């Protein structure tokens, strides 16, 4: 004799199937997470070969000079305590592991101008950013691999002490010098007052004069990394301006730069221009607003932005 399931039994049977299905999905997700466990420096070392030579002199000099500048401006707050050569990246897998190691949320990063210690940010990527900003930072760091960090790049593990807390970073380099490190490359040295220069009008008859102003960002070891600036030139007869030219420029190694300028007063008693300038390290972003003619910075990264107006008289 056939036995028919009551509605209650049908419901219980359906719930049992649903719960089993959910448990299977959870199990699959857990298995995927276990399979995609975090990579480590030990994994990276397996994808490297020993370097045939000692640390290039230029790299050693860059590290020594960085140590000296950190000591000069930050005292004992941030110190390099040791370096350990890991080898030369020899496989594509090594590059992929490098991508993960420099961009994962628990990796340390730094941003700021060491000439202004109060504005420095040093910590893990996950604690210094979140949401879309975190995603953008991780993407920019990953993009360094394949563009700047290539096969046969060498790797150092640098140990740091920041106000008593210790952490490590990966420093990639080649025979030409350091390519990238989340701290060495994230921090900059720059005088936010900028520099200025003007033409010498000592001659008796001068029909033009110019003025230029610029801001320079340096690597921690002191060499120039980037610059933004503008130059205004006025042409005049007597005390009357007849024409004005303005130019601008912006560039940075491993970072982003924007520069815009325009003439706002071309004739009369003086000439005038507006300028909008900015540069930042790769984990930050710059945008130009044409309506108010200004550059702004967002995200996490060392940066300098300068927006303004300059008037020049004969």
Tens of pLDDT along the chain (314 residues)? Answer: 333 444 444 444 444 444 444 444 444 333 333 334 688 999 999 999 988 778 999 999 999 999 999 999 999 899 999 999 999 999 999 999 999 999 999 999 999 999 999 999 999 999 999 999 999 999 999 999 999 999 999 999 999 999 999 999 999 999 999 999 999 999 999 988 899 999 887 554 569 999 999 999 999 999 999 999 999 999 999 999 999 999 999 999 999 999 999 999 999 999 999 999 999 999 999 999 999 999 999 999 999 999 999 999 99
Backbone angles phi, psi at 84, to 5 degrees: -135, 120
For 100-148, the DSSP string reads: HHHHSTTSEEEEEETTSGGG-EEEEHHHH--HHHHHHHHHHHHHHHHHT
* Selection from 306, 258, 254, 253 nearest residue 283 by Cα: 254
In angstroms, rounded to a whole number, what is the distance separating the alpha carbons of residues 70 and 202? 43
In angstroms, rounded to a whole number, what is the distance separating the alpha carbons of residues 79 and 147? 29
Q: Which pair of tokens denotes residue 66? A: 């960085």
Side by side, the strands of the sheet bearing 195-198 are 195-198, 208-218, 224-237, 240-252
In angstroms, rounded to a whole number, what is the distance separating the alpha carbons of residues 192 and 119? 13
Asked if 159 and 171 touch (Cβ cutoff 8 Å), the reply is no
In angstroms, rounded to a whole number, what is the distance separating the alpha carbons of residues 108 and 125? 6
**203: DSSP letter:** S
In angstroms, rounded to a whole number, what is the distance separating the alpha carbons of residues 283 and 144? 10
CB atoms within 10 A of CB 235: 17
In angstroms, rounded to a whole number, what is the distance separating the alpha carbons of residues 59 and 48? 19
């Amino acid at each position: 004799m056939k036995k028919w399931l009551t509605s209650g039994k049908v419901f219980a049977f359906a719930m049992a199937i649903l719960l089993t299905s959910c448990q299977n999905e959870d199990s699959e997700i857990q298995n995927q997470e276990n399979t995609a466990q975090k990579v480590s420096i030990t994994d990276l070392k397996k994808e490297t070969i020993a370097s045939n030579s000692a640390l290039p002199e230029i790299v050693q000099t860059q590290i020594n000079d960085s140590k000296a500048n950190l000591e000069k401006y930050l005292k004992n707050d941030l110190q390099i305590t040791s370096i350990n050569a890991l080898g030369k990246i020899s496989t594509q897998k090594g590059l992929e592991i490098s991508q993960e190691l420099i961009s994962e949320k628990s990796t340390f990063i730094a941003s700021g101008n060491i000439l202004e210690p109060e504005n420095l940010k040093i910590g893990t990527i996950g604690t210094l950013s979140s949401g879309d900003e975190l995603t953008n930072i991780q993407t920019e760091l990953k993009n360094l691999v394949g563009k700047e960090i290539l096969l046969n790049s060498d790797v150092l593990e640098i140990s740091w002490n920041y106000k008593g807390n210790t952490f490590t970073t990966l420093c990639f380099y080649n025979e030409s010098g350091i390519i990238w490190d989340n701290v060495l490359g994230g921090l900059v040295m720059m005088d936010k007052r900028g520099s200025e220069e003007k033409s010498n009008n000592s001659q008796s008859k001068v029909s033009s004069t110019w003025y230029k102003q610029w801001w320079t960002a340096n690597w921690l070891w002191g060499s120039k990394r980037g610059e933004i600036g503008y130059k205004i030139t006025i042409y005049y007869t007597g005390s009357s301006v007849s024409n004005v030219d303005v130019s601008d420029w912006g560039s940075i190694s491993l970072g982003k730069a924007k520069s815009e300028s325009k003439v706002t007063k071309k004739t009369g008693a003086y000439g005038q221009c507006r300028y909008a300038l900015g540069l930042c390290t790769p984990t930050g972003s710059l945008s130009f607003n044409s309506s108010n003619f200004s550059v702004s910075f967002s995200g996490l990264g060392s940066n300098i932005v300068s927006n303004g107006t300059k008037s020049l008289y004969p």
